[in-house]
Amino acid sequence: MDRIVYAAAMSHVLYPDYYGENVGPHGRKMVEELIEVVRDMGRTLAAAAPDALVVVADDHLNVFSFDAVPALCVRVGRSVSRMVQDDAIEFDRALDGLPERYPVHEDLANAILEQGLQAGFDFAASWSAPLDHAFLSPVSTLYGNRPVPPLVPFWVNCFVAPQPTAQRCFAAGRHIARVVADGPWKVAVIATGGLSHFPELSLARVAQSDPVFDRRVVTLMEAGDHAALAALTAKELPTPDRTSCSTGWCSWAR
Amino acid sequence: MSRYDTNVILYRLKKDAAFRDRFRSDPSTALAGTDLTEEERQAFMRWDVLRLNELGGMLHLLLSIPELGGH
């Protein structure tokens, strides 16, 4: 039996140019300071020497298009590629210069998938989905030039209604924790997303935030109040941007 | 629920450089044969991103289509 040796949650747009262009110098400075915090987290993570790194994040409509949108999806297979986007703009440029492929921890990914069926989860499985900035911006910032351990990418649908509930995401996180506890691996888990920033996914309201809600979520997380987080309803989470943090973070359960 | 047809085109504009070039040079021809309402079609023709978003076009696609996207 082994264990989760590291767990964390963080933003996934760790790209100073984006904030500089769209928020201004103070935005650039804030994210540069955040990047230093994440690099420090990465030193702790690397010292834990995990056999695998589970990354729970959303798809920004980069991978699954609209033909089929999985609620919860495990990336299986031997390796996973970085998303390629010609003439990338905005946060997609954060992928520039990163390795083209990363190893997947095939045994852990398959265990999450296969044991999920026994546990009542019909996870989707993908052998080909690439990774966008939601996965690789945090991973590359955490690890820098250090080798990245085999990954298990895990997508949570945060943007295409109906999204999985906070309760379902929390249960999925608990499932991942049980798989790790029953397995032989040391595993690190990170979940990525943001506090409120894209209310109702409205272009007209981009960058409006809800600090009251944000403080409530952070307080609940600091208190480890999983029940309250998992009980957040669709009405309380009407804006998918909240979902992108809450469901991702609710998946972080051990 | 999201508008499938609008978002399929937005996804294609992001991922298919040749389609994106055709759309930029002649949006009417590029959209021929697509299953859009007239309101959606006109919003694409004007590249009215706010209206496309109101009609269900996904924010992240509208923000990140090369040469067309952005805040």
pLDDT by residue (tens digit) across B25-49? 999 999 999 989 999 999 999 999 9
Among B1, B2, B62, whose Cβ lies nearest the Cβ of A203? B62
Label residue A254 by pLDDT band (50, 70, 90): very low
Among A61, A67, A87, whose Cβ lies nearest the Cβ of B67? A87
CA distance B51 to B71: 14
What's the mean pLDDT in A97-112? 97
Q: Does A203 touch chain B (CB under 8 A)?
A: yes
Residues A45-92 pLDDT 10s: 999 999 999 999 999 888 898 888 999 999 999 999 999 888 887 678
Instruction: State whether A161 and B8 contact (CB < 8 Å).
Output: no
Label residue A232 by pLDDT band (50, 70, 90): confident
Q: Which residue ranges form the domains of chain A, and what is each CATH number?
A: 4-250 (3.40.830.10)
Task: Please tell me which residue of chain B has the smallest CA distance to A163.
Answer: B1
Instruction: State whether B66 and A60 contact (CB < 8 Å).
Output: no
To test the contact with chain B by mutation, choose from A66, A159, A243 the residue with the greatest count of B C-beta atoms within 10 A, namely A66
The ipTM of this complex is 0.85
Residue B69 domain-assigned (yes or no): no
Among A66, A87, A203, whose Cβ lies nearest the Cβ of B59? A203
pLDDT over 70 for what percent of chain A? 92
Residue B71 domain-assigned (yes or no): no
Question: Which structure tokens are listed for A162?
Answer: 């109906």
Phi, psi angles (nearest 5°) of residue A124: -75, 155
Q: How many domains does chain B have?
A: 1
Residue B70 domain-assigned (yes or no): no
A25 C-beta neighbours (distance < 10 Å), count: 9
pLDDT at A92: 81
Residues A211-225 pLDDT 10s: 898 899 889 988 989
CA distance A93 to A133: 9
Residue B25 domain-assigned (yes or no): yes
Residue B20 domain-assigned (yes or no): yes
Burial A71-95 (b: 16+ CB within 10 A, else e): bbbbbbeeebebbebeebbbbbbbb
pLDDT score of A247 more than 50: no
From the number of C-beta atoms within 10 Å of its C-beta (0-12, 13-18, 19+), residue A106 rates as middle
Give the gap in angstroms from C-alpha A13 to the nearest C-alpha of chain B: 13
CA distance A83 to A132: 5
CA distance A25 to A74: 38
Instruction: Number of A to B CB contacts under 8 A, please give it.
Output: 67
DSSP H helices, A95-206, are 106-118, 133-143, 166-182
Residue B45 domain-assigned (yes or no): yes
To test the contact with chain B by mutation, choose from A17, A65, A202 the residue with the greatest count of B C-beta atoms within 10 A, namely A65
Residue B59 domain-assigned (yes or no): yes
CA distances from A158 to A69, A111, A128, A144, A165 (A): 10, 24, 20, 28, 10
**Which residues constitute the domain of residue B31?**
4-64
Name the least confident of A63-67, A110-114, B21-25. A63-67
Residue B34's CATH number:
1.10.700.10
Label residue A198 by pLDDT band (50, 70, 90): confident
